[in-house]
Amino acid sequence: LNFLEQALKSEKFKFIKGDLLDSPCLEKALEGASRVYHLAANADVRHGTEHPAKDHEQNTLATLKLLEAMRKNGITQIAFASTGSVYGEAAVIPTSEDCPFPIQTSLYGASKISAEGFISAYCEGFNFQAWIFRFVSILGERYSHGHVYDFYSQLLKDPTRLKVLGDGSQRKSYLYVGDCVSAIEVAIEKSTEKINIFNLGSQGYCEVKDSIGWITRYLNVNPEIEYAGGSRGWVGDNPFIYLETSKIQSLGWSPTLSIQQGVERTVQYLENNKWIL
Ligand SMILES: NC(=O)c1ccc[n+]([C@@H]2O[C@H](COP(=O)([O-])OP(=O)(O)OC[C@H]3O[C@@H](n4cnc5c(N)ncnc54)[C@H](O)[C@@H]3O)[C@@H](O)[C@H]2O)c1
């Protein structure tokens, strides 16, 4: 937040609030920019099937409109927040950037791989340069959705009970937000291909049950845990996500926090920022 406040005060930055689907506003917002960091999205994988058009509009179409606005402004560099969800239920784990072409299991993943496709096509067609980052789930400050949020808000209301989607044995990799940002910086500084695709994640994974243990110990509560059952939390939930990250590590980057530390940092953040709930 401090960085943002400072940035907004400095003449180097301008703050414009607008909709990516509003092309005139977007074109104006991009005037004078040299590179776009494209993070905006509908990032809600779980409820995708409740509104089938949303992922397409907010992720694929918004990205296409952004690329067009960039082209009109002569901006050719884009860093894009994609997702490990594009791998669906990968056949190879840990999953590398060049794994066999994946079959999609969520509307979110499908919309992000489509957006990646348009970005690559603009690199070929209009000489753009792109850094595409496929993140695992991100933890840490300003966290506003995901399992830690769900568990923390439940335990705040009733520390004696916790409802868990699936059977708790889902294996997931997570990454601390500060490490995610530093990986993006390293990749952009050191990777100079036309299209640069990187998995961003931790070297390992945990089970949902591990995370429950860390969260309840941190909060000093001992709830009765009720599992919904099944190996997936929802349609499109990948029961095992673990990305191969040797490509970004070969550039000298490695995460500073473990998954456990990232989960604990997130709970600490939510405790200090209950307004976010
Ligand atoms: N958080 C994660 O665990 C995670 C994991 C993988 C990938 N990602 C990707 O990283 C990016 C950031 O994720 P996040 O968790 O901060 O998501 P978020 O939902 O907190 O933030 C996304 C932002 O995009 C904005 N947005 C959506 N549609 C828009 C539009 N048409 N015009 C302008 N703004 C719009 C939303 O208002 C929101 O503020 C997203 O692209 C997401 O898909 C996140």
The pLDDT tens digits of the residues spanning 216-272 come to 999 999 999 999 999 888 877 889 999 999 999 999 999 999 999 999 999 999 999
The pLDDT of residue 1: 53
Contact 241, 171 (CB under 8 A): yes
Bridge partners (DSSP) of residue 227 are 164
For ligand 1, whether the C-beta of 143 sits within 6 Å is no
Ligand 1 atom at shortest distance from the alpha carbon of 18? 33
Contact 181, 243 (CB under 8 A): no
Terminus-to-terminus CA distance in the chain, angstroms?
18
Among protein residues, the one whose CA lies closest to atom 11 of ligand 1? 39
The pLDDT of residue 151: 97
Ligand 1 atom at shortest distance from the alpha carbon of 21? 31
Contact 215, 148 (CB under 8 A): yes
Distance between Cα 191 and ligand 1 center (Å): 24
For ligand 1, whether the C-beta of 113 sits within 6 Å is no
Separation of alpha carbons 234 and 218, rounded Å: 27
Distance between Cα 43 and ligand 1 center (Å): 5
Distance between Cα 40 and ligand 1 center (Å): 4
The residues of the chain scoring below 50 in pLDDT are none
The pLDDT of residue 237: 84
Distance between Cα 266 and ligand 1 center (Å): 18
Distance between Cα 173 and ligand 1 center (Å): 19
